[in-house]
Amino acid sequence: MNLNEAIIKRRSVRAYQDKPVAPELIQKIFHEAQESPSNCNTQPWHVVVASGNARDEIEKSMVSDIMAGKTPTPHFTPGDQNLKDEYRKRQIACAISLYDAMDIKYEEKDKRQQLMLRNWQFFGAPHAAFFSMPKTMSEINAVDMGIYLQTVMLLMTANGLGSCPQGALAMYTDKVHELANIPDNHAIMFGLSFGYPDESAPINQFDVGRAELGDSVEFLT
Ligand SMILES: Cc1cc2nc3c(=O)[nH]c(=O)nc-3n(C[C@H](O)[C@H](O)[C@H](O)COP(=O)(O)O)c2cc1C
């Protein structure tokens, strides 16, 4: 698969086959992603890849925090806060596409909440990765995190895997900190569920689309 094909094919995958990814392939993907560029080559990312029992323990802890009504504790401001104008419209359109794919009406609050909960069940993926960066870093360093994330996701696509980046996975992170050696001054910014996609699942059938090129890019001559 060439780069262009991987960019077009990558989509957020929200249902997975019950089939773990070989540890060698996971290692290879993260090894290659180390080539990502960053400000002054600082490489601010630290990643915890959870599989097997560790993955299950984290899911259990996150779901029980939510069920207990615990207040989420993200360190970095979540990306869905205070959206306005066209950004708010796109956020709503994105949610509606998801509900439509699952045949959920807006009034069906229980079903919407069940769907939301799937975030912390990693949408059934056998693996979940947690990406952190130093708490003292700012927006420009977050660019490095985004570049790195997209590199990981494209490598996954090119290797037949699916993934879903999730800000939701930065909300209840106590168990990840307990199990892993995340540097003390780091905070988790987002997570990534990944595995082999369930291509036939209804939730994987929709495409949210994109704005017209002219709405995003201006060419001066
Ligand atoms: C930083 C980031 C955080 C995201 N957080 C979530 C999330 O918490 N839950 C979710 O289902 N999708 C999440 N997404 C996926 C977006 O909804 C998705 O990328 C967008 O709608 C475009 O769709 P596509 O990835 O299928 O092309 C996130 C994406 C990014 C880049």
Tell me what pLDDT residue 141 has: 97
pLDDT of 65 reads 97
Give domain status of residue 213, yes or no.
no
Which pLDDT does position 15 carry in this prediction? 98
Q: Whose CA is nearest to atom 27 of ligand 1?
A: 11
- Total domains in the chain come to 1
Angle made by CA atoms 139, 146, 9, in degrees to the nearest 5: 150
Percent of the chain topping pLDDT 90: 99
Q: Is the CB of 79 under 6 A from ligand 1?
A: yes
Q: How much distance in Å is there from the Cα of 221 to the middle of ligand 1?
A: 34
Question: pLDDT tens across 166-210, in order?
Answer: 999 999 999 999 999 999 999 999 999 999 999 999 999 989 999
94 within ligand 1 shell (Cβ under 6 A): yes
Tell whether 150 is covered by a domain: yes
Evaluate whether residue 196 is within a structural domain. yes
Q: Which of 195, 181, 196, 184 is nearest to 47 (CA)?
A: 181
Predicted local confidence at residue 196, as pLDDT:
98
**What's the mean pLDDT in 139-162?**
98
Domain that holds residue 140: 3-77+119-206
Look at residue 103 and tell me if it is in a domain.
no
Share of the chain above pLDDT 70, in %: 100
Q: Is 208 a pocket residue for ligand 1 (Cβ < 6 Å)?
A: yes
- 18-58 pLDDT tens trace: 999 999 999 999 999 999 999 999 999 999 999 999 999 99
102 lies in some domain: no
Quick check: is 39 in a domain? Answer: yes
Tell me the CA–centroid distance for residue 166 and ligand 1, in Å. Answer: 6
Distance of CA 9 to the CA centre of its chain: 16
CA pair distance 76, 130, nearest whole angstrom: 14
pLDDT at site 192: 98
C-alpha to C-alpha distance for 24 and 164, rounded to whole angstroms: 21
User: For residues 16 and 163, what is the distance between their CA atoms, to the nearest angstrom?
Assistant: 9
pLDDT of residue 18: 97
Q: Which has the closest alpha carbon to 83: 75, 73, 94?
A: 94
User: Tell me, what CATH number does 165's domain have?
Assistant: 3.40.109.10
Q: Where are the alpha helices (DSSP H) in the chain?
A: 3-9, 23-33, 52-67, 85-101, 109-117, 139-158, 174-179, 213-216
Q: For residue 12, what is the DSSP state?
A: B
CB 11 near ligand 1, within 6 Å: yes
What's the pLDDT score for residue 38? 98
Tokens of 114: 């069940």
Q: What is the DSSP string of 33-81?
A: HTT---GGG----EEEEEEHHHHHHHHHHHHHHHHTTPPP--SSPPTTT
Give the sign of the dihedral formed by CA 139, CA 144, CA 147, CA 150. Answer: negative
Residue 218 belongs to a domain: no
Distance (angstroms) between ligand 1 centre and the Cα of 165 equals: 5
